[in-house]
Structure 1
Amino acid sequence: MRAAHLRAVRLFNRRRRLVAVVLAALATACVGLAVRPAPTVAVLAAARDLHAGPLAPSDLAAVRLPEEAVPDGALRPGARVAGRVLATPARRGEPITDLRMLGPALVDAYGPGLLAAPIRVTDAAAARLLRPGDVIDVIASASPSWDDAPPAAGAAPYPRAATVAQAVTVIALPRAASSDSPEAAMTESGALVVLAATPDQATRLAQAGTTAQLSITIHGNHN
């Protein structure tokens, strides 16, 4: 009886050591998994603080982010960058997505069937008040030349002042490609503003821009 008891004790001890070895191996494996770096993805981010406007390849740099931190639509290394227009300023290190670039994805975000309509607002100081997302009305005013040189026969000039587009949204305030500051695109000849407009609004804005001076009124926040 005593011999059987001793054999049972020795068997239990051997198995206990085996279980301890297995548990230690599992613990080591778990530690290894815990310290293993998470998978990362390369994306393009602002290489420095950027103004809105045309981009050069040196404006963006590749960075690696954890997979779960990569925003939808993030630009990847190898994407065409030169000449594309950044719609809003970006901070250094900020990943750049398709919605930050002037293009179909950005315009579609404001609603179906809209176009990106660039206009030049005569009063550059007024345009400096604008930010992407602002809702404005665009007013065409007769230029001084109309008094001296009437429009060609058959043309239908705007009256002295008329609203040519109502409740259109500002989507970009690009600067000139060769300028160092956003104000450089807002000169005495006016400021470039890009709007999300319906095809009919875009046509009226284009017609007014060739024959009139354009000014704006800014809608209040009714949220």
Structure 2
Amino acid sequence: MLPGLPPARRRLRAVRHQLRRRRRLIAAALAATAVASGLHALAPPPSPSVAVLVAARDLPAGTTLATDDLVAREFPEALVPSGAVRAGAGRVLAAPLSSGEVLTDARVVGPGLAEAQPGETVLPVRLPDPGMAALLRPGDEVDLVATDPGTGESRVVARDVRVLTGTADVPEAPTGQGGALVVVGLSAAEAVSVTSASLAQFLTVSWSR
């Protein structure tokens, strides 16, 4: 402290001295604030979210969906799968759905199922024995066999046909033929053969696992 200086001058000199000592710290703090502000200005806005339906629990193929089988979850719009289903109650699962998995057209019976099977024709096939149909699981590969009810002769009309859905009991057809429907994927040519055979013959399946 210099003698003879007025008290006000001494206080001013002390303040200047403290500022010189802390100017690096102040400069660093100002620089950090400027960088943070710049990053905030450059950051993209948060992605909008949309509500989608997901499985409330593990659901097997063939399940007819009820309202308590599905729950709504918010997903970033950019992450929502293509073909997400907006209303699922009453739809039938064509493939198993894991807990938390988004419900899409490729998982339910309908037009979206055909689109999810490139190169295949999706065809519902009536099997006369519901018990036989109940043995089938999505993903099974089976041969479709047509049997003439008059002669009892059988022939294979399609080989290595892929089962896409579980079974659904159906009322009797106008011909008096009951049974169960199974949705399968096969080639267009095979679909014609199977459809023709089903008009006058009984269809059964054979397969190995």
The answer for the alignment partner of 2:5 in structure 1 is none
1:218 aligned onto 2:207: yes
* Whole-angstrom CA distance in 2 between matches of 1:55 and 1:217: 29
Post-superposition shift, 1:204? Answer: 2.0
Aligned pairs, how many? 184
Question: Are 2:198 and 1:205 aligned?
Answer: no
TM-score by length of 2: 0.65
Map of 2:134 onto structure 1: 128
Shift in Å, 1:201: 1.8
Local SS of the residue matching 1:173 = strand
Mapping of residues 165-180 of structure 1, within 5 Å: 165-175=158-168
Matching residue within 98, 123, 136 for 1:117 = 123
| 2:53 alignment partner in structure 1 | 44
Q: What is the distance in 2 between the residues matched to 1:58 and 1:209?
A: 37
Stretch moving more, 18-27 or 165-174: 18-27
On the 8 A contact 1:43/1:62 being kept in 2, the answer is: yes
**One of 97, 122, 125 as aligned partner of 2:104:** 97
Q: C-alpha deviations, 1:155-195, integer Å up to 9, x for none?
A: xxxx7101111221111124359xxxxxxxxxx94321111
1:53-202 equivalences under 5 Å are 55=65, 60-66=70-76, 70-75=80-85, 77=86, 81=88, 84-91=91-98, 93-112=100-119, 114-143=120-149, 146=150, 160-175=153-168, 189-202=178-191
Q: Secondary structure at the match of 1:204?
A: helix
Task: Say if 1:126 and 1:50 are closer, same or farther in 2 by CA, change over 3 A.
Answer: closer
Letter in 1 for 2:164: I
Residue segments in structure 2 that go unaligned for 5+ positions in a row: 1-13, 40-45, 171-176
Unaligned runs of 5+ in 1: 1-5, 31-36, 148-158, 178-187
**Deviation, structure 1 residue 16:** 1.5
Q: Is the 8 A contact 2:169 2:181 kept in 1?
A: no
Show the counterpart of 1:16: 25
Task: Give the aligned residue type for 2:52.
Answer: V
| Cα distance in 2 for residues equivalent to 1:44 and 1:176 | 27
Q: Which amino acid aligns with 2:145?
A: I
TM-score normalised per structure 1: 0.62
Q: Could you give the per-residue CA deviations for residues 94-148 of structure 1, whole angstroms, max 9, x where no partner exists?
A: 3101210223443243332x322111223333322322122111001122xx26x
